Chains A and B, each alone.
Chain A
Amino acid sequence: MNTQTANKKQEVAQETMRITGSEAIIRCLLAEGVDILYGYPGGAIMPVYDELYKFRDQIHHVLTRHEQGAAHAAQGYARISGRVGVAMATSGPGATNLITGIADAQIDSTPIVCITGQVFSHLLGTDAFQETDIIGISTPVTKWNCQITKAADIPEVLAKAFYIAKSGRPGPVLIDITKDAQVSELDFKYEKCTGVRSYTPVPKTNPETLTAAAELINSAKKPLIVWGQGVILGQAENELKAIIEKAGIPAAWTILGASALPTSHPLNVGMVGMHGNYAPNMLTNECDVLIAIGMRFDDRVTGSLNTYAKQAKIIHFDIDPAEIDKNVKTDVAVIGDSKDSLAKLLPLLNENKHADWLQKFEDLYAIEFEKVIKDDITPTKEGLTMGEVLRQINIESKGNAAIVSDVGQHQMIACRYAEFTTTKSNITSGGLGTMGFALPAAIGAKMAAPDREVVAIIGDGGYQMNIQELGTIFQQKAAVKIVVLNNEFLGMVRQWQQLFFDKRYASTEMTNPDFVTIAKGYYIEGKRVTKREELAEAIKEMMASKESYFLEVCVEKEDNVFPMIPAGASVSEIRLS
């Protein structure tokens, strides 16, 4: 330790204050740079809310209309900004309502810290009013969790919570704080956490693996990159771009990797997976070296593993050693931080073009365009399509909007057709597939990045799963643009029923309310579009609005999303119709 840091530590020590646990919680949040948090008060967290009232000039608490909304809003905040999102709830039902958002953040590696109130410690285990074992319940879906029963533990545990949520492969952390810990006093001083001895956030990269990876890539005739969210979380967008440009490698993305590279980049060959693009899926089974970067070979990406890229050598870059060989056996595994690994890989690569190989992607894109894309985005049939809505949004946004999508057909269409110029712009529930995600996540995204256009694209099913958050949008004056693509069906399930269950539409048809009137009930300007000739103007009006705006587009009821890899089929068995 040098003298400077020693002095600094001493200074901090001198700043010790005698305060309550709840004030300590707020001071910890401030020390971590938290400016906004999302939550819902209740009995066991009231002392903290009392402090939030006192600190209301420094920290903005957003009252959502449901704790699930708070968790998703924290996720939206984290996804667009890269900072830690914070959600707060009371004990019992308040805490359990956070769980879906926490599980979503766990599987999508989103850094959030959830703080829950808990009954007095002497009541733990007595089935007290609103007591629930939230530590037990949240264990399988958190990166870390901890219950605090003593005020004195608050600073250290919260510092650890933020450190763990953000570092390495990010994830959700839940801290449960008993009411007695909130009301009793402690000598407060805050020191940021810089390490936990049992935890290695970023494993050291073995330089030999980088050399081996470079050798394989340099000798490849038909290399293919598939990148995931690891590029965004590791802020490795520029490094990725430099690599594909230098080595002339076509690069495809998983749903959570979208926007790390502009959609218009000539080497961006589209999305992989069940409803991804034709070329990267087909050519996954033709490439000679598959370079996976910060992705985890999810089953929706790989289809049947027995027929996935069997001809290729596999290189896997990941920060999480547990991902290596989990689903796909790798030939070279480069464990480490994506930015660092890719930066070190770059000088080892030869310049290359792979012109013939790239031509194959263009040829297959032409087929997909002719058979699918053209009719999706510039349809000639009578009914409106989801694809043409996305096309109009692209025209108005010039690819600069952040697109927050829910789960289902509209999500696949949004991810397939949204144009992106900026990273961290595709916010969607990828791993968990949580319907109801988009509306609250869009609130969090808009509040974290008020200067950005945030467009939520939601189906009529998912919209009604957290429709109450219109109240939050109204109260916070969050200028979120909401597009509901209404086909009066749970469209993706209906599509499967049509394709695999002989059109037995069991419980997928929805009789919907008047969505525009509901929006107006929350004083949100809105419009319904049923005809093609109204669409362009309506989207223009929505995008021009300075305030939140609701647009319902009544689309064709029984359109299907193609291409499609049927569940359990090979990526090269992708269907265009």
Chain B
Amino acid sequence: MNEEIKTFTISIYTENNIGLLNRISAIFQRRHINIESLTTSQSEIDGVNRFVIVVNITESQAKKIIGQFEKQVEVIKAYYHKDEDTIYTESCMFKIKSSLLFEEPQIQNIIKESNARIVTVNKEFFVLEKSGRRNEIESLRRDLNVFGIMQFVRAGRIAVTKDEMKVTEVLMAFNNHNN
């Protein structure tokens, strides 16, 4: 049973109800699975939320926890995907002293080359925003760290899948059945 541990992106379509996050995180906790990142937002369907969760587990573990998610009453559908089956990105923000922009002209090059965007600038600080793969964000962080970062924050992965998600069909089937 020496299955390879891989990065999986788990997508869970749910009702938008209080307490559901608890129910979902408890499933990871009970199985000692560490959550690398977790994002939740409105999905493409009105009133339906989508969790995007990144975990490092084996594929058989992934299959089993999908079963556990789908078993939850308020979960509509759950999927797991490998990196190559998704288009994914992460975003981050840096808060940096404004004086550095003038004292360290190299920073301007770093910003340009990294395709980071300046969100705001004032006398004390400026804020950079960058979206991309983890390694791009990490390399930008390393580059800027040399000059000093006041604050850094990175959001969880968001991803869409190459495959079609059949969530609407599930909901349509229910509506047809009950009308």
Contacts and interface: CB of A to CB of B under 8 A. Distances in A.
B178 interface: yes
A135 B71 contact: no
Given A198-B75, A325-B64, A326-B67, 19 more contacts: A1-B179, A136-B19, A139-B19, A139-B23, A139-B26, A140-B23, A147-B18, A164-B73, A195-B178, A196-B73, A197-B174, A199-B73, A320-B71, A321-B70, A322-B64, A322-B71, A323-B67, A324-B67, A326-B64
Interface string B168-179: 000100110111
B118 to A, nearest CB: 40
Given A197-B171, A322-B67, A325-B64, A143 B76 contact: no
Contact of B177 (A146, A195, A198): A195
Residues of B contacting A: mostly: helix
A321 B67 contact: yes
Nearest to A327: B64
Interface of B: 14-15, 18-19, 22-23, 26, 30, 60, 63-64, 67-68, 70-71, 73-76, 171, 174-175, 177-179
A197 B73 contact: no
8 contacts: A147-B19, A194-B178, A198-B73, A321-B71, A322-B68, A324-B67, A325-B60, A326-B64
A321 B67 CA distance: 7
Contact of A136 (B22, B30, B73): B22
Nearest to A195: B178
User: For A195, A322, A323, which residue has the most chain B Cβ atoms within 10 angstroms?
Assistant: A322
Interface of A: 1, 135-136, 139-140, 143-147, 164, 194-199, 320-326
A390 B168 CA distance: 56
Among A197, A320, A324, A325, the most chain B Cβ lie within 10 Å of the Cβ of: A197
Contact of B73 (A143, A325, A326): A143
B106 to A, nearest CB: 49
Contacts of B26: 139-140
* Chain A, interface SS category: mixed
Contacts of B63: 325
A204 to B, nearest CB: 10
A321 B63 CA distance: 11
A164 B71 CA distance: 12
Contacts of A197: 76, 171, 174-175
B70 A322 contact: yes
Contacts of A322: 64, 67-68, 70-71
B70 A145 contact: no
A145 to B, nearest CB: 7
Contacts of A198: 14-15, 73-76
A145 B73 CA distance: 10
A310 to B, nearest CB: 14
